[in-house]
């Protein structure tokens, strides 16, 4: 595993390799980097970060409802240095590629994107819901901003 580099060094190496594919760099403070990645390049960048830069741990994946688009943040860790890769997918086509082959532990995080936001993670093998129960009504995604309980359970209200 590569020795821990500084935030600036990591940015430099990634920019050298990926150029303007990466945008909106924010080095917030020590050990906190955020950068935007187009979804078609996501797997490549994650793979590179893992293999070449020592980001061998996936903290979690945060999904957000951004209105017209869904936003996904992949929080990668190199011994505590957190690189958060931000990618977006339009709500009309909420697809993103799986990173399960790079991080086997990603499964619950990817399933959560599907359950809670209605994302479609391509390459994720079929499986049961997480975290919602099996009998949760189809098409109901609680973390969408305009979702209310009455959408899924109208009789209760």
Partner 1 sequence: MSKITIPLGPQHPALKEPGNFLLVLEGEQIVGATVRLGYNHRGIEKACEDRSYIQDLYLIERVCGICSHSHTTCFCMAAEDAAKVEVPKRAQAIRVLVGELERIHSHLLWLGVAGHEIGFDTLFMYAWKDREQVMDCLEMISGNRVHYSINTIGGVRRDITPEQAAEILKRVDLLEERTKYYIKLATEEPTLIARVEGVGLLPTEEAHKRGAVGPTARGSNVPRDVRKDDPHLIYEELDFQVITSGACDVFGRLYVRVFELLESFKIIRQVLKSLPEGPIVAKVPRKIPPGEGVGHYEAPRGEDIHYVRSNGSEKPERVKVRAPSLANFSSVAYMLEGGYLADAPIVIAAIDPCFSCTDRAILVKDQSGRDLTLDWEDLRRRGIEFYRHRGLDFSRIA
Partner 2 sequence: MSSNPMLNKLVNWSRIKSPWILHFNSGACNACDIEVLDALTPRFDLERFGVLLKATPRHADVMVACGPVTRQVAFRMRRIYDQMAEPKFVVAVGTCACTGGVFNGCYSVLGGVDKILPVSAYIPGCPVRPEAVIDGVVKLLSSLKQ
Could you say which of partner 1, partner 2, none residue 152 binds, taking C-beta under 5 to 8 angstroms by partner kind?
A: partner 2
Does position 144 bind partner 2 by CB under 8 A? Answer: no
Q: Which residues contact 88 (CB under 8 A, 6 or more apart)?
A: 36, 39, 66, 69, 70, 71, 72
Residues facing 87 on adjacent strands: 72
Residues 81 to 140: which contact partner 2 by CB under 8 A?
Answer: 133
Residues facing 35 on adjacent strands: 85
Q: Which residues contact 34 (CB under 8 A, 6 or more apart)?
A: 24, 25, 26, 28, 73, 84, 86
Could you say which of partner 2, partner 1, none residue 31 binds, taking C-beta under 5 to 8 angstroms by partner kind?
A: partner 1
Nearer to partner 2 by C-beta: 80 or 133?
133
Does position 51 bind partner 1 by CB under 8 A? Answer: no
Does position 19 bind partner 1 by CB under 8 A? Answer: no
DSSP string, 133-152: -TTPPTT--TTSTT--HHHH
Does position 47 bind partner 1 by CB under 8 A? Answer: no
Residues facing 95 on adjacent strands: 120
Does position 74 bind partner 1 by CB under 8 A? Answer: no
With CB under 8 A as the contact rule, the residue among 43, 64, 91, 152 that binds partner 1 is: 64
Measure the CA–CA gap between 82 and 76, rounded to whole angstroms. Answer: 6
Residues facing 76 on adjacent strands: 58, 83
Measure the CA–CA gap between 74 and 144, rounded to whole angstroms. Answer: 19
With CB under 8 A as the contact rule, the residue among 13, 21, 73, 91 that binds partner 1 is: 73
Q: Which residues bind partner 2 (CB under 8 A)?
A: 133, 142, 149, 152
Q: Which residues bind partner 1 (CB under 8 A)?
A: 28-29, 31-32, 34, 56-60, 62, 64, 73, 75, 77, 79-82, 84, 103-105, 107-109, 116, 128-133, 142-143
């Amino acid at each position: 595993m590569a020795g821990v580099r500084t935030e600036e060094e990591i940015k430099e190496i990634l920019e050298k390799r990926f150029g303007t594919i990466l945008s909106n760099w924010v080095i917030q403070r020590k050990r906190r980097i955020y950068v935007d990645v187009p979804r078609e390049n996501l797997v490549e960048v994650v793979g590179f970060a893992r293999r070449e830069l020592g980001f061998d741990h996936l903290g979690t994946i945060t999904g957000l409802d951004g209105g017209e688009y869904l936003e996904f943040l992949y929080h990668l860790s190199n011994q505590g240095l957190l690189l958060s890769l931000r990618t977006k997918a339009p709500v009309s086509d909420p697809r993103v590629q799986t990173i399960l082959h790079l991080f086997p532990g990603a499964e619950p995080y990817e399933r959560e994107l599907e359950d809670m936001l209605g994302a479609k993670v391509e390459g994720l093998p079929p499986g049961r819901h997480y975290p919602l129960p099996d009998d949760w009504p189809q098409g109901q995604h609680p973390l969408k901003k305009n979702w209310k309980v009455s959408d899924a359970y109208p009789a209760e209200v």
